[in-house]
């Protein structure tokens, strides 16, 4: 399916700054990009930093003497996803987890799975398949955490959210990741665009590695899983912030859109008994 994506960011530059932007869609096996365009205020230098791991396309900008920074990104992203029936999803022991997933077992800044093991076992340890555990985690988050803008800030972590019970997509994803890792299920942060999401914004959800395949879960239920376009993958939001600013800038405007003529959001019925996989 093809998605037309546009992101516009405006900043006042208060001092000469360097910015790492995470707004470019990734080009992956199942995500093809066309007609990509990236424009910034004239005079501002930028370069793409291709990460060896292929999990981000940081754009590094130098504001130089500019006092305003305007960024405009457009792309046509074509994505493919795979539906897998529940019966085909195999749990595997730790001893067979692919080495590329190992680091996603460990705690990270916003996902302190090391402090949540006993809780995760009590809540989800009785479920015997890691896929169903992860479904139960995502359902539990949706049902028990209030989606509430302004309830959290950039320092909020899964350990906070599990008790404070409110947050935004980033917090929901962190909590899902922390629970999974606490159950020895590798889990990672997915930052991306989401087709037709209301209100339009950057989105975050998470992927869990079950049987060495990365299934996607959105505990906010704000986005259709087949309408996601990947920007970055990481351990948590520390790896995938929209903008990391070295210097001083103030955001003055932002607009995001992700639309598609042909998009048919997967319904609950479509997904009954099946899971969705974006990358192998």
**DSSP assignment letter at 25:** P
Complex with its own copies: residue 108 or 260, whichever CB lies closer: 108
162 binds its own copies (CB under 8 A): yes
Would you put residue 169 in left (φ > 0), alpha (ψ -120 to 50) or beta?
Answer: alpha
106 binds its own copies (CB under 8 A): yes
Complex with its own copies: residue 107 or 227, whichever CB lies closer: 107
Pairwise CA distance, residues 41 & 63, whole Å: 9
Best CA proximity match to 17, nearest among 253, 252, 244: 244
Q: Which residues in the 209-248 window bind its own copies by CB under 8 A?
A: 238-239, 244, 246
Best CA proximity match to 204, nearest among 130, 110, 271: 110
Least separation, in Å, of the C-beta of 156 and its own copies? 11
260 binds its own copies (CB under 8 A): no
Contact of 83 with 9, CB cutoff 8 Å:
no
21 binds its own copies (CB under 8 A): no
Stretch of 49-57, 128-136, 201-209, 265-273 lying at the interface with its own copies (CB under 8 A): 49-57
155 binds its own copies (CB under 8 A): yes
34 binds its own copies (CB under 8 A): no
Complex with its own copies: residue 179 or 217, whichever CB lies closer: 179
108 binds its own copies (CB under 8 A): yes
Least separation, in Å, of the C-beta of 267 and its own copies? 28
70 binds its own copies (CB under 8 A): no
50 binds its own copies (CB under 8 A): yes
**DSSP assignment letter at 236:** S
93 binds its own copies (CB under 8 A): yes
- Which stretches within the chain are classed as H helix? 117-124, 130-144, 158-164, 169-182, 268-271
Pairwise CA distance, residues 48 & 190, whole Å: 20
Residues near 219 by beta carbon (within 8 Å), at least 6 away in sequence: 137, 138, 139, 141, 142, 145, 172, 173, 175, 176, 205, 206
Tell me whether the omega of the peptide bond preceding residue 199 falls within 30 degrees of 0, making it cis.
yes
Which residues of the chain form contacts with its own copies (CB under 8 A)? 18, 20, 45, 49-53, 58, 60, 62, 93-95, 99-100, 102-103, 105-109, 111-112, 114-116, 118-119, 122, 144, 146, 154-155, 159, 162-166, 184, 238-239, 244, 246
């Amino acid at each position: 399916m093809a998605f037309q994506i546009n992101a516009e960011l405006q900043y006042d530059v208060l001092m000469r700054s360097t910015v790492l932007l995470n707004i470019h869609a990734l080009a992956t096996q199942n995500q093809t990009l066309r007609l990509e365009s990236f424009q910034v205020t004239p005079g501002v230098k930028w370069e793409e930093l291709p990460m060896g791991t292929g999990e981000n396309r940081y754009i590094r900008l130098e504001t130089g003497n500019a006092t305003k920074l305007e960024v405009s990104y457009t792309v046509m992203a074509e994505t493919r996803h795979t539906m897998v029936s529940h019966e085909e999803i195999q749990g595997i022991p730790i001893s067979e987890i692919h080495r590329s997933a190992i680091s996603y077992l460990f705690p990270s800044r916003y996902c302190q799975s090391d402090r949540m093991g006993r809780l995760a076992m009590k809540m989800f340890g009785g479920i015997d398949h890691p896929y169903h555990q992860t479904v139960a985690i995502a359902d539990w988050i949706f049902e028990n955490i209030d989606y509430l803008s302004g309830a959290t800030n950039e320092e909020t972590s899964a350990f906070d959210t599990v008790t404070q019970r409110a947050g935004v997509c980033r917090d929901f994803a962190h909590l899902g990741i922390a629970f999974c890792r606490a159950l020895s299920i590798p889990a990672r942060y997915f930052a991306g665009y989401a087709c037709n999401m209301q209100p339009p914004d950057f989105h975050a959800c998470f992927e869990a590695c079950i049987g060495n395949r990365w299934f996607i879960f959105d505990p906010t239920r704000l986005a259709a899983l087949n309408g996601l376009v990947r920007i970055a993958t990481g351990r948590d939001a520390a790896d995938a912030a929209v903008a990391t600013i070295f210097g001083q800038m103030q955001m003055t405007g932002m607009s995001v859109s992700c639309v598609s003529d042909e998009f048919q959001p997967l319904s609950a019925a479509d997904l009954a008994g099946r899971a969705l996989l974006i990358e192998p």
